Each structure stands twice: as structure tokens, then as C-alpha cells.
Structure 1
């Protein structure tokens, strides 16, 4: 009797032996999915920045071809343009006033909302609502009407014997109208502060109370140190935004930075030089100086944060 050998059984290929896409194929797929973002960055951000940098070294009036002038725009900016200096001073005054005031209001309201138990959702929505309106032209015009001569604020102050004649027309008060508008829209930093406050352990407050600490000592020794990373985050964001303020100043001043250039903010003067006076090369130089200034201020904030910002996970 003859026996026939069974055919050899082939084991199924394991998952590890299957062909995997190479590193080049994976990178190629990633670049395909990233291509819309890459094109957007190149065409809408990097290319306009490069053109603006080139125009900052030229004399360009939007109608004729740019003419290379080297550093003349930059030297004129710092040596031959007194209005540029006033715009820098006005912007710095606004930043110094608006940012601390806005953060103080946001933190104060966040502390109140944290201790509120009834209708908490309603109060949060009500205080956040002004921020939803944004820096729109309509809101700025309403704000101008409130602080103008004969407006609501002027009438209220006049009823108690304080006669200002309207803040908008006063060169010493006009900039504070814009600062108050910014401070009124404190909803975004308030929400961030409220989220940070809810992360502070209640045990710290209980221990401080057992040691006899009052509400002010608990605020200084517990709340502020534990909230310092959130405070730093809000400070950086609000400072950067304040340097770029434009719409409220344009609406309140009627687009002219008045009275007596008291609301001639940096961006408003940049707009005037670029589009009203058709000195786009000069305006481009101003834009790059603003970019470098904001970068320098942000760097200073990060450097100084090492002495007052405390992270609970340090050394972990």
C-alpha cells in the first residue's frame, strides 16, 4: 500500500511580517493633510510679511512703483516725526491704564462669582455678554455718545456738581474713554480667572483660616500665588491686544485721533499714514517697529515672571 505525503501546511503571515508603509510614505501623507495649513501660512502670513518688510525700506504711495530709500523711513520715524512720538506715548498710557484696570475688574468679579451660589450661571453670562460684542464700531459709537458733551455720563456727573463738558472733547480725558471701554469688556479674562480659582484646593484656605489669616491675608498668601500662572497668561494676552487697539480709538475720535492727538494711538496713526496720506512704506516700517516692540515687551514679561509666577508642579 502506497501512502501519499500530505502537502506542507503554510503558516499564515504574521501581522509583523506584513509590509508596512515606509517613513517617507508616512511623511508624504502627513504633508498632504497639512498642505492647506501650510499654503495658508505661506500665502496669507509669510508672503505678506515679506512684502511688508520690503516696503518698509521703500517710498511707496500705493499708485507708483516702490522706490528704495533704505533706512530713511525708520530714521524719519524717530527723528523727524513728532506725531509718531505722541502716538507712542498715547499708546503706552493706554496700556498702563487699561490692562491693570481690566484685569483687576476681571479678577474681582471672578472672586465674587466663585462665592455666589444662587443664579451663578445667570451672573456669569451677564458679565461675559459685553465681551461677545467685541471691539465693534457700533459699540464704540454708543460709548462715544455716553461720554460726549451732553451724554449720559456728563449729565450724571453734572447732577452731582462735576462739570466736565464731555470726556470725548477733553484732551486729558479722551484716552480714558477708550480705556474704560476696554475694561468694560472684561468677560474673557474673568472666565479664565474663574477657572483658575476653581482649581485652588480649599484645604489651603482652611489651613490659613486656622492660622488666623483674614480675607486679605488669604488673598495675598494663597489666592494670588496659586493664581499667578493664570494671571500671567491674562497679562500677556491683554498687553498684546492693548498695543493693537484700533476700532474704539477710530470711532471715538472720528478717525482723526482728536482732540489734540490725545487718542492718536499707534495703530490709528499707522492707518492714517498708510491709507490717508498714502505713505505705505512708512506705515510698513511702523508695523515692523510695533511687531518688535510687542516682542520685546512679551520677552520682558516672560523674564520677570520667574520672580512672581509659581507653578505647583515644579520639581515634580
Structure 2
């Protein structure tokens, strides 16, 4: 029995189709099918019932799945520990929200490369959590705190969000006709936005779960929206606004609310929302010198 076949078994249980499993593992779907058949032959068991394209666990498969998932974790751990942990060369995979990868990390890569030429960074712009247990990433940057208790989690910065509108939109749109672009990908920010909609009767022109789409929509003067300050700063024509008074905010107001996250008392609508940025690692990879170097570098980049 090839113990690596367990990775295909566990993945197929979770993904349910050969195509989705193959995409997850970066292989052809025929490879997944062949590995599963080989595992079933080695165990003399039928692990799945085939229902169309879906693979559903049999009773025998259900009994083995939990144990197989634990064994797979142990195999990944063993492989990590077998690598030369002190090597100052090799690959480090970073999973980060696309906006942070594009707007912050990419600009810092040349300096990192110059200082550590033998460490090759792979930056994955992921919206969803990468599985650190399966080594899909060595380090993850996340704006939501993971729920797994055995991961190493540290807050390295905060991202400030505010309401923004284009200067042209403010100048040419009567304030009673201001409309909202709804950003839906972040529960905390979405709830913040819903408070504004309900308390002040803002019409929603459209919704998006993509921050870049939201940003482009504000740049195209379609309405006002929640944006991170570092992204809005790319376009000097985007101005921070007070969505309650429907006025442009002063730098004094921005600094005051960002510093203490105060709710300027306008029916409990905060003008600036701060969200923690977490760096997340599996405990095993912390032993790697190159991963520690990259983690420290990320802390310095986002902690400025």
C-alpha cells in the first residue's frame, strides 16, 4: 500500500468529484481515479459508491475516513521534519488575500529577493483559506481569525476601512441621490454597511464580493463604498466621506477615528473600521529557518 494514496482518498471525500479533487491536488482526474482504485484493491474494500460524477463514501469508507485524515496529517508532518530545517534556500508558499498580495507584497518582493536570493517565494492570491495541514501554503495572511486551535496565529497589523466617493461623484450628484455599492465578502464590513443602509435609507446600486470591482466602481463614479485606506490612496480623486452627514471627512476626523476606533456619535455609525491582519502557520513549519525569515519579513512589511 502506498501511504500517499490516502491523500487522494481524503481529498476525494471532501471534494466529492474527480474533477474537483484533481484541481485541488494539481493532477489529472485520471490520476485520482487510478489512485483510488489502487487503494481499494490494496485494502480489498469498496470505499466509494459512484452516483453520477459524485463519489459517496460506503459504510466501510466512512469507518476509515477519520483515521485516514489523521494518518495523512502525520505523513505531511513527517515529510516536513525530514526536510533540512536549517536550509536558507528553497521555496516558501504565502497565501494572502489578492488585494494584499497585489497592493502590498508585490512591491516589496524585489528588496526581499535582493536580500535572500536563494529563497523563492510563491505568492498565492487566495480568497479562501489554504489548508496548512496539507502544505498548500507555509504561511497564510488572513483578515479573519482561523478557528483551528493548533495553528500558530499572530496579529501583525490592522487594516483601516472607510467610506469613499470619487470627487466627481460628490460634485455632480446631489447628496440625497447618493447610492451605495455593497461589498459582501467580509461579514464584519457587511454588517457595518447594513447598519448604514437601514438607519439612513441608502439605496444600493449593486453588490459585489470582489474588492477590486468595488474599488473600480467607485473610481467610475457609480456610488460610495467601503474601501481599505491603502487601496483608496491609489486614486487621489477618491475622498473619505462621512456617510451620515454626507460630507467629505477632514484629516483630523480620520486621524481621530483611526487612532481610537471611536464611534463619532452619529447614530452609532463608526467612520473608520479597523480589522486585524493575522499571520498563520502550522507549528511544524516554524522550525524551518527560511519560513521564519519570511514570517519576520511579512511582519515588518505590514507592521510599518
TM-score, normalised by the number of residues in structure 1: 0.22
User: Which structure's residues are more often strand, by fraction?
Assistant: 2
Q: Which has the higher contact order (CA 8 A, sep 6+)?
A: 1
Higher percent of residues as helix: 1
